Amino acid sequence: MTATNVSQLPSQIMRSVRGLISAPFPLIGTLVFLGFLILAVFGSQIAPYEFDNQDFDARQPPDCGLGVLNPLRNGCDHPFGTDNLGQDVYSRVILGTQEVFRLAGLGTLLAVLIGTTIGLIIGYEGGLVDEIIARLLDSFLAMPALLLALVLLGSLGDAENSLFLVLIIVYAPIVARVVRSNVLEIKTRGFVEAAQLRGESRFYILFREILPSVIPALVVEASLRFSYGIFLVASLGFLGIGAHPPTPNWGLMVSDARTWYSIAPWMLEYPAGAIVVLVIAVNLMSDGIRKLVQRTS
Amino acid sequence: MVIFVLRRLFFFLVTLAFTSILIFLLTRVLPGDVARIKAGRDAPPEAVEQVRQELGLDKPLPVQYFNWITNLVRGDWGDSFTTNTPIYPDVRQRLENSGRLAVLTLMIAIPISLVLGIVAALNEGNLVDGLISILTLGVVSLPEFVTGIFLINTVAFKWAKNWDWLPFELRGSASGFKPEMSFTESLPYLTLPAIAATFVLLAYVTRLTRAGVIEELKRDYVRTAELKGLPYPIVIVRHVLRNALSPTVTVIAISLGWLISGLVVVEAVFNYKGLGSLLIFAVENRDLPIIQAIVMITVAVILLANFLADLTYAFLNPRVRLGR
């Protein structure tokens, strides 16, 4: 980045901010995402009950619904009702946020870190190793994510952190592929050649010269992977694989609520709604990030 | 053209080979002893050892892989760990059932999403385009199991309950489906699951079509056709769509992976006896031979579809086959 570019940076940021405000959807998406993030971080403090705390009143209808947002909260014992075991749906939806961010959020983050490292190295080194690893990554990509996840869970079994590991193995190859194709183009540019001629170390060239140019594409990819990750975690939970009751996994909650739908629809509606709202929010946000990156680059 | 086909065929086979190795390794190398899974958790060490020899697990990995893949090609897919019966007949039947559902889904999804994609592209940037993109965004954010449950609970249990013109057993969902039925006979049972699966495809195919048509609209020949005074509809239908829709085969091939993932969930929701629900059963019971066989077939189908799509595309578009 040259000196003139640096001085232009504030105006660039201003332009981005103005763009964000003029297109309200990405902004709304980001705000909703941040709201969920707060729920994930402070979930244990916000949720009135433990996720497996059982009340004697099973399948009690919601007493105030979204009225829980009212700060006074009069008569809000179970805002989203209770399920067939008398567990508080409101608390379980909040603690489910924690579960989603722990699995999909942290899993995606680690997948991005690992995938980026692999992509940077094989893209920069090239040669036979790159060719072989790239083929191997392709064969990972030949399998739909859900299928790959099922194969992994079938052979790993339902161990404690299987789901976490699965997300990393499913998404790291995809990220590596994106990074690799970016690196292949970037490494031909002058500034990389200059660094090589200066005799910089390989580590310096990879992480200080090439990585910054990859970051825009990486941010877009990461937000996209996160939204798919939420889906994957929920779908596997729904299929009853890798998550077991009483874990507050949204997909698992929806699956358990199916049989009770006609008499206790709230058991299904709130966790299903949470999945849909979070996924829409993340999609809007990632759409916004993509446009932002395209505009500034 | 011959060189192009051979090149594509080579890539298809190489990716297939790599993927089969990958599937084999994922089910063998990861922690979890196959012989112990088969013998049972509490089996004595001697029994585990015996199972290990029966399954040939004591041989070196490359030999095991070679045996597995040759048997797979020959149609000998081994025995299920849970039922101890050959898995081939069961998997074949399930494949047929899933294939039926997949075909019906494509028949519903492709025309709708093509129309939506074309309309969005022709209205690029205005209100109609915005509405369609909000629609696809909304649809893509709905998990298949949520749409499936919604369809069952409203269409099947609330509305169809009062439809006296419909025979009673058809008002439920896929549960009345029997594999012996002909395609038309099974249609009523398959419609709801197919609609649920359509939602998955709709967004992707619409977006890809929209992008394709917009790209085509920017080409020089479109301006030429307009400048020589052709009416706009003719420019669109005769020139733009003809070129923009030839990659549709590719679009379908690309979205096949999405369709298959979607079907796994949809089959679970509707309790439909397809490949997906068999896979779930196999994963729950750690029935590795079934898992391997199903995933291998699915990947082979996806790669084959991509290969054929490449060929069709090249056949339709001389630039592709001569350009390389």
Q: Omega before B179 cis (within 30°)?
A: no
How is residue B289 written in tokens?
Answer: 């031979």
Q: What is the pLDDT of residues B30-57, one digit of tens each?
A: 655 677 777 776 777 777 777 777 777 7
The DSSP output letter for A51 is T
Return d(Cα B91, Cα B143) in angstroms, integer.
Answer: 26
Domains of chain A: 96-296 (1.10.3720.10)
Return d(Cα A149, Cα A169) in angstroms, integer.
Answer: 8
Are the beta carbons of B258 and A152 separated by less than 8 Å?
no
For A242, which residue in chain B has the nearest alpha carbon? B284
Q: What is the pLDDT of residues B236-260, one digit of tens each?
A: 877 777 777 766 777 788 788 888 8
A29 touches chain B (CB under 8 A): no
**Residue A175 Cα, gap to closest chain B Cα (Å):** 18
**Residue B236 Cα, gap to closest chain A Cα (Å):** 28
Contact B278, B94 (CB under 8 A): yes
Residue length, chain B?
324
Are the beta carbons of A155 and B23 separated by less than 8 Å?
no
Question: What Cα–Cα distance (Å) separates residue A30 from each residue in A20, A27, A230, B203?
Answer: 10, 5, 16, 22
For range A242-253, the mean pLDDT? 85
> Whole-model pTM?
0.85
pLDDT of residue A36: 92
What residues in A contact B22, CB-CB < 8 Å? 136, 139-140
Return d(Cα B110, Cα B102) in angstroms, integer.
Answer: 12
Contact B19, B299 (CB under 8 A): yes
For range B140-159, the mean pLDDT? 82
Question: What Cα–Cα distance (Å) separates residue A287 from each residue in A277, A294, B66, B204?
Answer: 15, 11, 46, 15
CB contact residues (below 8 A), chain A span 221-240, against chain B: 231, 234-235, 238-240
Beta-carbon neighbour count of residue B76 at 10 Å?
14
pLDDT of residue A67: 66
Band of pLDDT at residue B90, cut at 50, 70 and 90: confident
pLDDT of residue A3: 44
The DSSP output letter for A105 is I
Four-CA torsion A284, A287, A292, A293, nearest 10 degrees: 140
The owner of tokens 């310096």 is: A204
Band of pLDDT at residue A4, cut at 50, 70 and 90: very low
Looking at A126-161, list the stretches that DSSP marks H as alpha helix, in order from N- to C-terminal side.
127-142, 145-156
Q: Which residues pair with A88 in a beta bridge?
A: A82
Return d(Cα B298, Cα B292) in angstroms, integer.
Answer: 10
Band of pLDDT at residue A14, cut at 50, 70 and 90: low
Return d(Cα B51, Cα B36) in angstroms, integer.
Answer: 8
Task: Using alpha carbons only, give the angle B272, B275, B279 rounded to the nearest 5 degrees.
Answer: 105
How is residue B57 written in tokens?
Answer: 């697990």
pLDDT of residue A1: 40
Contact A152, A166 (CB under 8 A): yes
SS3 of B189, please? helix
Are the beta carbons of B30 and A138 separated by less than 8 Å?
no
Looking at B40-87, list the stretches that DSSP marks H as alpha helix, in order from N- to C-terminal side.
45-54, 61-74
SS3 of A54, please? strand
**Residue A145 Cα, gap to closest chain B Cα (Å):** 8
For range B220-225, the mean pLDDT? 83
pLDDT of residue B323: 56
Residue of A142, A150, A235 lying closest to B303 (CB–CB): A142
Residue of B141, B149, B260 lying closest to A280 (CB–CB): B141
pLDDT of residue A122: 92
Contact B53, B259 (CB under 8 A): no
Q: Which of B116, B36, B21, B122 is nearest to B72 (CA)?
A: B21
Q: Which residues pair with A87 in a beta bridge?
A: A54
Give me the phi and psi of A291, to 5 degrees please.
-65, -40
Contact B300, B95 (CB under 8 A): no
Band of pLDDT at residue B175, cut at 50, 70 and 90: low
Q: Which of A40, A91, A68, A49 is nearest to A248 (CA)?
A: A91
What residues in B contact A233, CB-CB < 8 Å? none
In the predicted structure, residue B286 carries a pLDDT above the cut 90: no
B142 touches chain A (CB under 8 A): yes
Q: What is the pLDDT of residues A77-112, one digit of tens each?
A: 777 777 777 788 888 888 999 989 988 999 999 999
Band of pLDDT at residue B235, cut at 50, 70 and 90: confident
Long-range contact list for A124-129, CB < 8 A, 24+ apart?
Answer: A124/A183, A124/A187, A124/A202, A124/A205, A124/A206, A124/A210
pLDDT of residue A91: 85
Are the beta carbons of A254 and B23 separated by less than 8 Å?
no
Q: What is the pLDDT of residues A21-73, one digit of tens each?
A: 556 788 888 999 999 999 989 878 877 777 777 777 777 777 776 766 666 66
